[in-house]
């Protein structure tokens, strides 16, 4: 992906989706979380974001808050636990631990 493609295709979709979902709110209230990929840091991208009034949240290169588990393991658990109600935090923790134990070890690789 190049910065040109990103600006012309991706950012235009972000703007359209933002306008569609929140028509009374300007894009200046839109926040994006970018990583350090080249197209995200390119001059064309930053200029386009500035023109659209979209703010970019700072993102450390290797944030411990964004572990790979956030993208592969937790969505699985979330889907499996969807719709269940827990009266106590301990019950939720037990259910999450139980669900994580059902994931095969090779999926952690």
pLDDT tens, position by position, 71-104: 677 777 888 888 999 999 999 999 988 988 888 8
Residue 59 CA to residue 63 CA, distance in Å, equals 7
Q: Can you read off the two tokens belonging to residue 34?
A: 């970018």
Domain ranges of the chain: 3-61, 67-108
Instruction: Answer with the residue of higher pLDDT: 93 or 18.
Output: 93
Q: Convert the pLDDT of each residue in 27-52 to its tens digit.
A: 566 778 887 788 888 999 889 988 88
Please indicate, yes or no, whether the overall pTM of this predicted structure exceeds 0.75.
no
């Amino acid at each position: 992906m190049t910065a040109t493609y990103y600006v012309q295709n991706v950012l235009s979709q972000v703007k359209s989706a933002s306008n569609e979902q929140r028509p009374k709110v300007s894009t200046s209230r839109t926040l994006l979380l970018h990583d350090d990929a080249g197209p995200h840091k390119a001059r064309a991208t930053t200029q386009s974001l500035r023109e659209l009034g979209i703010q970019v949240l700072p993102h450390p290169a290797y944030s411990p808050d964004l572990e790979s588990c956030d993208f592969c393991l937790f969505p699985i658990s979330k889907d499996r636990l969807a719709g269940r109600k827990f009266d106590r935090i301990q019950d939720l923790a037990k259910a999450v631990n139980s669900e994580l134990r059902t994931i095969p070890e090779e999926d952690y690789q």
